[in-house]
Amino acid sequence: MNKKVLAGAFAVLTLVMGACSDDSAEDTESQVEQVTPVEVAPVSKGDLVVEREVFGRAVPSKNAPILPKSTGELVEVNVSKGDTVQRGDVIGRVSASNVNDQIRIQEISVQSAEKQLESARNQRNTAEEALGNARDQLEDAKEQQEGLSGIAKESAEQAVRQAEAGVTQAESQLESAEVGVEQAQLQVQQAQAQLEQTRGQLNNAAIVATVSGEVTSVNGEVGDMVSGQQPFATIVSISPINLQVSVTAKELSLFEKEQEIPAYVSSLEKEVTSKVSYISSVTNDTGLYPVEATVTNADGNIKPGMMAKLQLPEMTVSDHILVPTSAVVEENTETFVYVIEEERAKKVAVEVVRAQSDLTAIKGDVSEGDQVVTKGQLTLSDDNKIRIMKEVD
């Protein structure tokens, strides 16, 4: 009986001691501080630049109607819609049969004028010889009257007067011959000018591409009558190609001439570089400002009508403290970050100045070079002990 009592008492004592031992272990564990693993990144200072997206569409850099320079029957059509041509290519030709007839007539006119000029020069030469002879006769008459008297002297004086009249007449004839030569030269020049003009009309029979590009329309077939009043063809140039956008007055200030802007063409899933070529100073019918940017488009893959997104850098704040956006915690009415100090996370209240997807500009008791928690911050409390698992540059 006594043995049973002792055994029971020992069992109770064992249970009590075991319970006390468990309570002591729990107290020891509660005294071990929890360490939270986190990722951190450095705080920087600078400008916050965001990208503003502006949408537009591609349009040809040139859209040229090709007009014939002469009126007549179309005798050649050298292109079809969709063909690619180079500037200076002959894409059609107008009949020049009537022009050839005019050229032959003008050539005859030039020959006739040249013959008249030759005749006028001969007449001038004859007049010069006649003047020389008249002057010789005058000198002879003057010599013969020397030493004469009476009737002989009177006769000699009359001969001198006749010789002088002959000189005057010869001089007048020479002047007339000179005028005739000048008039004949003028006629030759006029005939030659008319001939060159007519030959120019022959050159105008060719219909020439004024730009390089793709033929988008051809208005005429062989045998049709054409004139300079109606385009024979239309050529568009898409290399380079322009991107047209319409922007607000605020967005207009983001553009500068010759500025290079990245552009994303969604249908091609391709980013290209564009250069601003035109900035309007007046609004269009919608109250927006037209802007054009040029893309080289050497491969011709960008087609008119394709949509493009221009990505404009815009500085929103300057010389501010910048932290990764993921470091900013908003809880109820508080906004704060956790700054690392001696392996502990210090909760620091901040004010958001401007935020974007990657960086946020803030105001608060945070300095350049500090480390802020970017991952694990949602499980932290002020002054928690932390262990840095990864540091992002």
User: Looking at the chain, which residues constitute the CATH 2.40.50.100 domain(s)?
Assistant: 67-94+206-226
In a 3-state reduction of DSSP, which class is residue 309? strand
**Could you name the CATH architecture of 36-48+318-388?**
Beta Barrel (2.40)
For 53-63+236-315, which CATH class?
A: mainly beta
Residue 63: its H or E element: strand 44-66
Average pLDDT over residues 309-319: 85
The answer to whether 57 touches 302, Cβ cutoff 8 Å, is: no
Query: 200: how many CB neighbours lie within 10 A of its CB?
Result: 12
Residue 150: pLDDT band with limits 50, 70, 90: low
B/e letters for 171-181, b = 16+ CB within 10 Å, e = fewer, are eebbeebeebb
The pLDDT of residue 11 is: 41
Average pLDDT over residues 76-97: 92
Residue 167: pLDDT band with limits 50, 70, 90: confident
Residue 313: pLDDT band with limits 50, 70, 90: confident
Structure tokens at 352: 């958001």
Residue 127: pLDDT band with limits 50, 70, 90: confident
Residue 128: pLDDT band with limits 50, 70, 90: confident
Average pLDDT over residues 211-222: 94
- What pLDDT digit, counting tens, does each position of 262-290 carry? 999 999 999 999 999 999 999 999 999 99
Kindly calculate the radius of gyration of the chain based on its CA atoms and give it in whole angstroms.
Answer: 52
The pLDDT of residue 147 is: 65
Question: pTM score, two decimals?
Answer: 0.53
Which comes out higher in pLDDT, residue 118 or 155? 118
Query: 333: how many CB neighbours lie within 10 A of its CB?
Result: 5
Average pLDDT over residues 148-173: 76
CATH of 67-94+206-226 among 2.40.50.100, 2.40.170.20, 3.30.70.890, 1.10.3720.10: 2.40.50.100
pLDDT at 196 > cutoff 80: yes
Residue 202: pLDDT band with limits 50, 70, 90: confident
The pLDDT of residue 31 is: 58
User: Looking at the chain, which residues constitute the CATH 2.40.30.170 domain(s)?
Assistant: 53-63+236-315
For 96-203, which CATH class?
A: mainly alpha
The answer to whether 156 touches 137, Cβ cutoff 8 Å, is: no
- What pLDDT digit, counting tens, does each position of 315-327 carry? 778 899 999 999 9
pLDDT at 293 > cutoff 50: yes
The pLDDT of residue 240 is: 94
Average pLDDT over residues 187-203: 82
User: Looking at the chain, which residues constitute the CATH 2.40.420.20 domain(s)?
Assistant: 36-48+318-388
B/e letters for 182-195, b = 16+ CB within 10 Å, e = fewer, are eebbebbeebbebb
Average pLDDT over residues 53-81: 93
The pLDDT of residue 13 is: 37
